[in-house]
């Protein structure tokens, strides 16, 4: 398994948020897996800037998975699990950033320009 960097995940998400149509399930799943693999492998070593990006990415992933889970299709349960795991990581990252001295307001400020 090839290791993927936060910077690469961020570049990919910047492209995805510009899209008009939904990302196909296999691509969504692959991106989600890359994010989860990165967090599981590198969480302790991530810088605060990388954590801010990953928190924002998890927020988008979780929200998107939640919306997709509302459709009654074969992938509904998978999307629910993706939502839950994304929300778990988002909260873990927020807690770590807070512990490192970053307030909720500062986090929102740092995230403001991420997707422009």
Q: What is the DSSP string of 62-111?
A: HHHHHHHHTS-STTHHHHHHHHHHHHHHHHHHHHHHHHTT--HHHHHHHH
Report the C-alpha gap between 45 and 54 in whole angstroms.
Answer: 13
Neighbours of 29 (CB within 10 A): 15
**Residues 65, 40: contact at Cβ < 8 Å?**
no
pLDDT tens-digit series, residues 20-40: 998 999 999 999 999 999 999
pLDDT tens-digit series, residues 43-61: 999 999 999 999 999 999 9
What is the DSSP-derived secondary structure letter of residue 2? Answer: -
User: Which pTM was predicted?
Assistant: 0.93
pLDDT tens-digit series, residues 55-90: 999 999 999 999 999 998 999 999 999 999 999 999
């Amino acid at each position: 398994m090839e290791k993927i960097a936060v910077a690469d995940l961020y570049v990919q998400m910047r492209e995805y948020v510009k899209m008009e149509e939904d990302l196909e399930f296999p691509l969504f799943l692959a991106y989600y897996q890359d994010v989860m693999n990165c967090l599981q492998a590198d969480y302790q070593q991530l810088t605060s800037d990388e954590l801010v990006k990953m928190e924002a990415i998890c927020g988008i992933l979780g929200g998107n998975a939640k919306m997709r889970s509302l459709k009654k299709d074969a992938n509904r349960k998978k999307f629910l699990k993706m939502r839950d795991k994304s929300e778990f990581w988002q909260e873990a990252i927020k807690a770590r950033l807070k512990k490192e001295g970053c307030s909720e307001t500062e986090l929102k400020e740092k995230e403001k320009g991420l997707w422009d």
